[in-house]
């Protein structure tokens, strides 16, 4: 049965989609059965996995709003399976307002897929609204990418407050799977200081591997592929492979 992990941080530009795409691909390469659910209306994870979002026939929007079978939305790629997103998802929060048990729409759909996968990753939008709430209710745990920059910890208190509220009222089993340091530059004292501070705030939860600032990681999405297909020998690819190995050791 799949572990469902929401990749979440309401701050933009911290590496949520980069992590969702490349960690899915890294685990897929180990032989794990992986599904990436793109729950961000920008659909960057969809294109990052090599899927042309303009030609998608059924997206996660159709699954939660139009009752399309989740199996019919899945697209198989060489890097893992994808439940694609679309721009229409941006209006889903409004359309769900009058729906009973609206926080559980995604959970109900993904539950139908749990037996088919080892891991289901949910790439969340950069906000704490109804779409993200659906992801938190659907997930067993969350993975938090934290950028090694000045404002790294700003806003994490809001995320932790949301996590506590969701645990109390909607999903009592939700927990932190791990915290991943991203855009790390080991040559600077500042990156190391931020890393120490994050480890102090989340003892025992921070991955030993930090994702470095890496040009190849930034370039790969423009080619519509994970970094492993773009430059397997890059530091970014090696780092995500190391994180995948850490995840396996957690099992």
Are 19 and 144 in contact by the 8 Å Cβ rule? The answer is: no
Residue 160 has which token pair? 């932790």
Q: What is the mean pLDDT of the chain?
A: 94
pLDDT for residue 250: 75
Count Cα neighbours of 187 within 13 Å in the Cβ-side half-sphere: 2
User: What pTM value is reported for the model?
Assistant: 0.96
CB-neighbour burial class of residue 55 (10 A; exposed 0-12, middle 13-18, buried 19+):
exposed
pLDDT for residue 67: 94
pLDDT at 251 over 70: no
Residues written for the chain: 251
Per-residue pLDDT, averaged over 204-219, amounts to 96
> What value does the CA radius of gyration of the chain take, rounded to a whole number of Å?
17
Residue 150 — pLDDT band, cuts 50, 70, 90?
A: confident
Strands (E), 49-134: 75-77, 80-83, 119-123
Sheet containing 119-123: give its strands across: 75-77, 80-83, 34-38, 119-123, 3-7, 141-147, 175-182
pLDDT for residue 90: 93
- Rounded to an integer, what distance in angstroms lies between the CA atom of residue 44 and that of residue 51? 10
- Rounded to an integer, what distance in angstroms lies between the CA atom of residue 62 and that of residue 89? 9
Residue 138 — pLDDT band, cuts 50, 70, 90?
A: very high
């Amino acid at each position: 049965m799949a572990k469902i992990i929401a990749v979440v941080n309401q701050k933009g530009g911290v590496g949520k989609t980069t992590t969702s795409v490349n960690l899915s691909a890294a685990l897929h390469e180990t032989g794990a059965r992986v599904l990436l659910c793109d729950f961000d209306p920008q659909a960057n994870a969809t294109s990052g996995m090599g899927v042309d979002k303009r030609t998608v026939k059924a997206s996660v929007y159709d699954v939660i709003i139009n009752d399309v079978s989740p199996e019919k939305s899945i697209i198989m790629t060489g890097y893992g399976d994808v439940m694609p997103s679309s721009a229409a998802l941006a209006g889903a929060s409004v359309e769900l307002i009058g729906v009973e048990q609206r926080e559980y729409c995604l959970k109900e759909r993904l539950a139908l897929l749990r037996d088919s996968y080892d891991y289901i990753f949910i790439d969340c939008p950069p906000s704490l609204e109804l779409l993200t709430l659906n992801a938190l209710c659907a997930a067993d745990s969350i993975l938090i990418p934290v950028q090694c920059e000045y404002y790294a910890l700003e806003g994490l208190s809001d995320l932790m407050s949301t996590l506590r509220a969701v645990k109390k009222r909607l999903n009592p089993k939700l927990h932190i799977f791990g915290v991943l340091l991203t855009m790390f530059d080991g040559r600077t004292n500042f990156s190391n200081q931020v890393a120490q501070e994050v480890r102090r705030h989340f003892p025992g939860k921070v991955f030993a591997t930090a994702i470095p600032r890496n040009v190849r990681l930034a370039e790969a999405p423009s080619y519509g592929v994970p970094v492993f297909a773009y430059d397997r020998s890059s530091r970014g690819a090696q780092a995500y492979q190391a994180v995948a190995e850490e995840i396996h050791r957690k099992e």
